[in-house]
Amino acid sequence: MDRYLDEQVLALGEKLTQRLVALASFPTVSGKEYDAQQYICEQLKALQCDQIDVWDPDIESMRGHEAFVSSRNDFAGSPNVVGTWKGSGGGRSLIVNAHIDVVPPGDESEWTVPPFAGTVRNGRIFGRGVSDMKCAHAALLTCVEALHKAGRRLRGDLIFQSVIEEETGGAGTLSCALRGYQADGALIPEPVHMALCPAQQGVLYFRVHVTGKAGHGGERYLGVSAIEKAAFVLEALGELERRRGEEWNHPLYREVPIPFTINVGTIQGGAWPSMVPEHVAFEGRMGVAPGETLQQARCSMEDFLAGLEERDPWFREHPPQVEWLPNRLYSAQIPEDHPLVDTAKAAFAQVMQWQPQMAGTAFGTDASVLTNFAGTPTLVFGPGSVAHCADESIAVDTLLDYTRVMAQLIADWCGSD
Amino acid sequence: MDRYLDEQVLALGEKLTQRLVALASFPTVSGKEYDAQQYICEQLKALQCDQIDVWDPDIESMRGHEAFVSSRNDFAGSPNVVGTWKGSGGGRSLIVNAHIDVVPPGDESEWTVPPFAGTVRNGRIFGRGVSDMKCAHAALLTCVEALHKAGRRLRGDLIFQSVIEEETGGAGTLSCALRGYQADGALIPEPVHMALCPAQQGVLYFRVHVTGKAGHGGERYLGVSAIEKAAFVLEALGELERRRGEEWNHPLYREVPIPFTINVGTIQGGAWPSMVPEHVAFEGRMGVAPGETLQQARCSMEDFLAGLEERDPWFREHPPQVEWLPNRLYSAQIPEDHPLVDTAKAAFAQVMQWQPQMAGTAFGTDASVLTNFAGTPTLVFGPGSVAHCADESIAVDTLLDYTRVMAQLIADWCGSD
């Protein structure tokens, strides 16, 4: 371990917290990223970044791409920011990709702190996005500052991508890829509890329509309840979920209770309390295994739903219809013994004094673009744990540990003089 | 049987159809009853009605009444019409209660005819409300015309109530009751397939809230799906439904597959496909057995839901919450050997040459007001069968048969000279 570098990181602990508090105060939901990205630019300038690239992604040039997903009409006023510290030569380049956008705070009455205030309390920093994933911005900037203070000059390029639109489909990272950014490796600090994740599951979103037969509720036995039929389909989907977990028996998901979940998140159906409901639709997400194509995953559900007619003749004439929603993310993976993984493992073990947990992600990430479409082997590794919920937060100590590991990882991967 | 009277009804068959066609052309959804009630008034005048009482029900005077239900602010422009043919004396009085309001036509693309045109095709009259229950208006008016043509003068009063708001809670009939109308018996021609129904079930409407624990869908095993918990509650309610059918082992419902249904008609829950849903609400109707109070019925569901904690400990901390919706109708019944039932049975058998089916209704009716709050023993008996759906219709022959029975019934019950 580079102890001197580590000391510099430790000395910047207070500043690390301040950076995250500052970032957490920007309410960067989709479309509101501008001010936070300005803050990032100022930080990059202060840290002698060699090249600062700021642009509003051009939606039209991305529309034809197979990884493009967005419901926005344009990204005007929502810039990507990429800062590059040029290496002195002879080292490996590294992308650190962190999204600046956050999901909405939801019901603010469930928060015990304001969601966009960056409150520090009992050793934790609270706010929407502190875990997912502005902690990454704070950590990377602090790593660079520590490298400077330690007098380390990297050999390979360090490319910091502060991107938009991760939470809504990944168009920010796709725009980076199409702009030509690639590297020998990439790190995405999504909230994975400090695990190293060489594999990321993909995700498909679906809506299933179930049909019944309307009728008066007082004689409901003359109708067919779409709610009852939907309950049957929901129960059956648990079986598909189990089957898919066994089929894609992935080593990094062996410890996970349900490796590739089929989560039904919404349901809506029926028109009147006193009518037998004629239609129910439910929406959900399905995990796509690393190594599985989106099309394979779609077919597995379509085939399964078609097969339900053998269990209930009603479905023969009224099969559940699956509609695939626009959002989806490819799965991605790099070998478990990829040099980037080895470097990260070593850096982790040196700093933390124990071996990191190896895992696959429970969600899709921008790694699906970097690994699959930007020729950049990507490792997901981040300190966050609590995300997308009220009182999102991160422990100050965990953030500092992570930053210490990240500094070693950068120095080791890129090489330093 | 009064054969001469029957011949007069048969001779008026064409006019009977014309009356229903005319009535079906008025789109009398709640708030749009005026023109149809004017038509009724004209018919009453043409039929030498002794007293025609027309008034907009006063909502304020009803609000405190335990049977009052309405979501309207007033009934201005929505008159009740009551026509009374005074009896010559010595007979029993009869109310014929028929509602002029209809439920909305729903998705008109599912109709093969315009819903408010009164189309006659293949021996059936089509239109929203022809079965439920403008056929009753046409039948009653035709009965009176036939009685006149046959030279019959009734001994008891015949009171024809053409009321509003049956489909939305019964405020029209309640207003008649509070205005002082009552009689020795009443007939409500709801669509019961020509069965005689001395018993009517009541109905309660409920909304049940089921709570889960939110979380990321990719790690759904860390959350608790409110949709899964709701499916459990829905399944369990089937058991309550069976239990209630057995408990209120009512003779008139013995042939019914599910005597007092618990029909769940709507469901809604969850916020995002990729979140474990935290809340689901479903709405439904619960049949109230004749002889059962609304409070008894409410308690039976509340107790049942509270007991679910023994099957799933989740419900101990997060019990399903039932909310009772404003609409409800009392159950009602008269003895199976009530003289009105006997009279109806005899009239039916004489005209149809077979014994009528005896039954309890599968739904609530305005009998809940007449029997319980207007001191008027009420029998539900009507010719309709297909109601509240696209292509609502009634067979011309069935309507004529019904009118023939009704004429005999009126003459026998009221007595005639």
3-class DSSP string for B233-271: HHHHHHHHHHHHHHHCCCHHHCCCCCCCCEEEEEEEECC
Structure tokens at B35: 């023109």
Predicted pLDDT of residue A216: 87
- Compute the distance between CA of residue B284 and CA of residue B266 in angstroms, rounded to an integer: 7
Of B257, B265, B361, the CB nearest to A221: B257
Task: Tell me how crowded residue A45 is: count the other CB atoms within 10 A of its CB.
Answer: 11
- The rounded radius of gyration (Å) of the Cα atoms in chain A is 23
pTM of the model: 0.89
Residue-level pLDDT at B389: 84
- Residues 235-264 of chain B with CB under 8 A from chain A are 235, 257-258, 261, 263-264
What is the distance between the alpha carbons of residues A89 and A415, in angstroms, rounded to a whole number? 9
Structure tokens given for B263: 């029909």
- Give CA–CA dist A66/A177, Å, rounded: 13
Block residue for tokens 């599968």: B362
Residues of chain B in contact with residue A325, where contact means CB-CB under 8 angstroms, are 273
- Tell me if residue B56 is catalytic: no
* Lookup: tokens for B411: 């003459």
CB spacing of A285 vs B225 below 8 angstroms: no
The pLDDT score that the predictor gives to residue B207 is 98
* Residues of A whose CB is below 8 A from B285: 217-218, 273-274
Domains of chain B, residue spans: 3-200+331-414, 202-329
Q: Which two tokens stand for residue B42?
A: 């004209």
CB-CB neighbors (< 8 A) of A214 in chain B: 389
Fold of B3-200+331-414: Aminopeptidase (3.40.630)
Q: What is the mean pLDDT of chain A?
A: 96
Gap between the Cα atoms of B133 and B127, Å rounded = 11
Q: Where are the beta strands (DSSP E) in B330-377?
A: 332-333, 358-361
* Percent of chain A surpassing pLDDT 90: 95
Q: Examine the pLDDT at B26 and tell me if it is beyond 90.
A: yes
A217–B285 C-beta distance less than 8 A = yes
Contact B366, B170 (CB under 8 A): yes
Q: Rounded to whole angstroms, how far apart are CA atoms B319 and B209?
A: 9
Q: Residue B115 — pLDDT band, cuts 50, 70, 90?
A: very high
pLDDT of residue A337: 97
Asked if CATH classification 3.40.1180.10 holds for the domain at B202-329, the reply, yes or no, is no
Name every chain A residue with its beta carbon within 8 A of the beta carbon of B218: 201, 203, 261, 263, 285, 287, 361-363
Residue with tokens 């349900």: A258
**Interchain proximity B361–A218, CB inside 8 Å:** yes
pLDDT at A107 exceeding the cut of 90: no
pLDDT digits (tens, 9 = 90+) for B222-281: 999 999 999 999 999 999 999 999 999 999 999 999 999 999 999 999 998 999 999 999
**Do B28 and B140 touch, CB atoms closer than 8 A?**
no
Q: Could you say which residues from 326 to 365 on chain B have a Cβ atom under 8 Å away from some Cβ of chain A?
A: 361-363
> Looking at residues A148-152, what average pLDDT do you find?
97
Residue B215 pLDDT exceeds 90: no
The answer to whether residue B22 scores a pLDDT higher than 90 is yes
Rounded to an integer, the average pLDDT of B138-164 is 98
**Per-residue pLDDT for B165 more than 80?**
yes
Is A371 in contact with A378 (CB distance < 8 Å)?
A: yes
* pLDDT at residue A215, rounded to an integer: 86
Nearest to A261 among B218, B264, B325 (CB): B218
Residues B363-382 have a mean pLDDT of 96
Is A58 annotated in the active site?
no
B273/A287 touch (CB, cutoff 8 Å), yes or no: no
Task: Give yes or no for residue B3 having a pLDDT over 80.
Answer: yes
Per-residue model confidence (pLDDT) at position A204:
97
What mean pLDDT comes out for the span A110-119? 96
pLDDT tier at A72 (50, 70, 90 boundaries)? very high
Residue B356 pLDDT greater than 90, yes or no: yes
Cα angle, residue B379 at apex, residues B377 and B384 outer, rounded to 5°: 155
pLDDT exceeds 80 at position A115: yes
Band of residue B168 on the pLDDT scale cut at 50, 70, 90: confident
- Answer whether residue B386 shows pLDDT above 80: no
What are the pLDDT digits (tens) for A397-416?
A: 999 999 999 999 999 999 99
Q: Do B227 and A282 touch (CB under 8 A)?
A: yes
Other Cβ atoms closer than 10 A to A335: 11
Residues A136, A189 contacting (CB under 8 angstroms): yes
Give dist(CA B4, CA B277) in Å, integer.
69
Q: How many residues does chain B have?
A: 417
The mean per-residue pLDDT over the stretch A191-211 comes to 97
Residue of A6, A157, A166, A412 marked catalytic:
A166
3-state secondary structure chain A: CCHHHHHHHHHCHHHHHHHHHHHHCCCCECCCCHHHHHHHHHHHHHCCCCEEEEECCCHHHHCCCCCCCCCCCCCCCCCEEEEEECCCCCCCCEEEEEECCECCCCCHHHCCCCCCCCEEECCEEECCCHHHHHHHHHHHHHHHHHHHHCCCCECCCEEEEEECCCCCCCHHHHHHHHCCCCCCEEEECCCCCCCEEEEECEEEEEEEEEECECEEHHHHHHCECHHHHHHHHHHHHHHHHHHHHHHCCCHHHCCCCCCCCEEEEEEEECCCCCEECCEEEEEEEEEECCCCCHHHHHHHHHHHHHHHHHCCCHHHHCCCEEEEEEEEECCEECCCCCHHHHHHHHHHHHHHCCCCCEEEECCCCCHHHHHHHCCCCEEECCCCCECCCCCCEEEHHHHHHHHHHHHHHHHHHHCEC
Among candidate residues B101, B99, B87, the one with its CA nearest the CA of residue B183: B87
CB B309: neighbour CB atoms within 10 A?
15
Which runs of consecutive H residues, i.e. helices, occur in B54-179?
A: 59-62, 135-149, 171-178
- At A322-346, the pLDDT tens digits run 999 999 999 999 999 999 999 999 9
Q: How many CB atoms lie within 10 A of CB B398?
A: 18
The tens digit of pLDDT for each residue in A78-88 reads: 999 999 999 99
pLDDT digits (tens, 9 = 90+) for B135-149: 999 999 999 999 999
H-helix or E-strand spanning residue B303: helix B294-307
Angle between helical axes of B396-414 and B135-149 (0-180°, round to 10): 60
Please check whether residue A54 touches B, CB under 8 A. no
pLDDT of residue B106: 85
Give chain B positions within 8 Å (CB) of A274.
203, 205, 263, 265, 284-285, 363
Condensed to tens digits (0 to 9), the pLDDT of residues B267-316 reads 999 998 999 999 999 999 999 999 999 999 999 999 999 999 999 999 99
- What distance lies between CA B54 and its chain's CA centroid? 22
Average pLDDT of the residues in B11-32:
98
Distance CA A281, CA A227 (A): 9
Q: What gap in Å lies between CA A234 and CA A264, rounded to an integer?
A: 8
- Given the cut 0.85, state whether the ipTM is greater than it: yes
The span from the CA of A279 to the CA of A268, in Å, is 9
Question: Using an 8 Å Cβ cutoff, are A87 and A156 in contact?
Answer: yes
Predicted pLDDT of residue B107: 85
pLDDT band at A63 (very low <50, low <70, confident <90, very high): very high
A109 touches B at CB < 8 Å: no
Average pLDDT on B160-164 reads 98
Determine contact: B284 vs chain A, CB below 8 A.
yes
Query: CB A227 to CB B282 under 8 A?
Result: yes
How many CB atoms are located within 10 Å of the residue B221 CB? 15
In the structure, what pLDDT confidence band is assigned to residue B216 with cuts at 50, 70 and 90?
A: confident
B231: closest CA of chain A, how far (Å): 6
pLDDT at position A386 over 80? no
> How far is C-alpha B365 from the chain's CA centre?
4
As a whole number, the mean pLDDT across chain B is 96
Q: Do B277 and A283 touch (CB under 8 A)?
A: no
Q: How confident is the model at residue B388 (pLDDT cuts 50, 70, 90)?
A: confident
